[in-house]
Amino acid sequence: MTVERTTRMPRPVVVDGMAMAPLVRAVLDQCRRLTTPDPVRALLTEAVQRGRLNPEVLVRELEAGSDRGSALPREVLRDVIRGARSVAEIDAMNVWRLSGLPEPVWNQPLRDGSGEYIGTPDGYFKKIRLAWEIDSYDFHFAKEDYAKTLDRNARYAAAGIALLQTLPSRLRTEPEEVAAELRAAYEARQLNSTQVEDAGLGQANIPWEERK
């Protein structure tokens, strides 16, 4: 999934070739000045995804500073630490909360019993082997990207993993409907997967920096 951006990540202040303000502090200072959720989400997810900032370091820096303007970045960072790496993935987490389902694992690579890579779903319900992908028209419209998506879906099918695909725009325009679809997919899979174990599929135990 591509990272959705609505604001630019700040650069450290540099004087005579020396960084005078760490990037972590610069990002959080800008977040404190923002008053609506979307720019904060875009800025923090880009800082983690593209700026390679550790979200736990951002949290520590936020906690060490003033409480003023910290409510929105605190809320966003909770989802970033869960595994969200884009605004759309934060929206997906909000829809999951509406669904009332157990929490999936977020953005963790799946491998088969021989260690071969299968995919990195946005959300994965391990117990019933249900993958949830937030797939954008923009990313999958090109012929090459479409082929990659088909290959990914074939790997899921070969591994016995059910797949639910959702457009990112629907996470905001139809959150209740998407939550209902997620529940229906979960319940159908649960019905068909009773007493079925995970058959060797696992989540790669890798640090957040190497996730999708």
Task: Convert the pLDDT of each residue in 15-71 to its tens digit.
Answer: 344 343 488 888 888 889 988 888 888 888 888 877 778 878 888 888 887 888 888
Tokens 């058959």 — which residue? 199
Q: What is residue 128's three-state secondary structure?
A: helix
**Chain centre distance of CA 162:** 19
Sign of CA dihedral 65, 43, 95, 127: negative
Tokens standing for 126?
């391990």
Report how far residue 208's alpha carbon sits from residue 212's, in angstroms, rounded to the nearest whole number. 9
Q: Write down the pLDDT at residue 5.
A: 43
Of residues 205 and 119, more confidently modeled: 119
Angle of helix 175-192 relative to helix 87-99, nearest 10 degrees, comes to: 70
Say if pTM beats, i.e. exceeds, 0.85.
Answer: no
Q: How far apart are CA 63 and CA 165, in angstroms?
A: 37
Task: At 124, list the tokens.
Answer: 């994965």
Least confident of 34-48, 106-120, 123-137, 150-164: 34-48
Report which residue type is found at 60. R
Q: How confident is the model at residue 98 (pLDDT cuts 50, 70, 90)?
A: very high
* Mean pLDDT of the 165-189 span: 95
